[in-house]
Amino acid sequence: GQQVMQIPQYQHVQEGEDFTTYCNSSTTLSNIQWYKQRPGGHPVFLIQLVKSGEVKKQKRLTFQFGEAKKNSSLHITATQTTDVGTYFCLLGSSASKIIFGSGTRLSIRP
């Protein structure tokens, strides 16, 4: 069945540094979504990627979908304390279940 790996599990950065989380699938995806979950909160939808090689930006956040549609990344430029939380990918495949990655927990030193 489909497997997903999200790395790193944790990242602790100095405020102002960049942050990247990666999501890798064992199978080709139809799309991928990214969510942010603040401590004690619920997941909030950030974006969906559908096309091979797609790149989307939201202010300081850059999302990429791999050419083979098996991996994706979320990059935050110049982190701020408001970026603290856990970032999850959600894999969508026509052949397999819809599953969440294990998440990357971002903490920031002011």
Q: How far apart, in whole angstroms, are the C-alpha atoms of residue 102 and residue 70? A: 16
CB of 69 to other proteins, least distance (A): 13
Q: Is 39 in the site for other proteins (CB under 8 A)?
A: no
User: Binding string to other proteins for residues 47 to 66, with x set by CB under 8 A, is what?
Assistant: xx------------------
User: Residues 60-64: contacts with CB within 8 Å, 24+ apart?
Assistant: 63/34
| Distance, CA of 19 to CA of 23 (rounded, Å) | 14
Report, in Å, the least distance between residue 5 CB and other proteins: 12
* Residue 97, helix vs strand vs coil: coil
* Least separation in angstroms between CB 78 and other proteins: 25
Q: State in angstroms the smallest separation of the CB of 83 from other proteins.
A: 19
28 near other proteins, rule: CB under 8 A:
no
Structure tokens at 8: 């790193």
CA-CA distances (angstroms) from residue 52 to 65, 73, 97, 98? 6, 13, 20, 19
Chain residues in the site for other proteins (CB under 8 A): 6, 30-31, 33, 35, 41-45, 47-48, 88, 90, 92, 94, 97-103
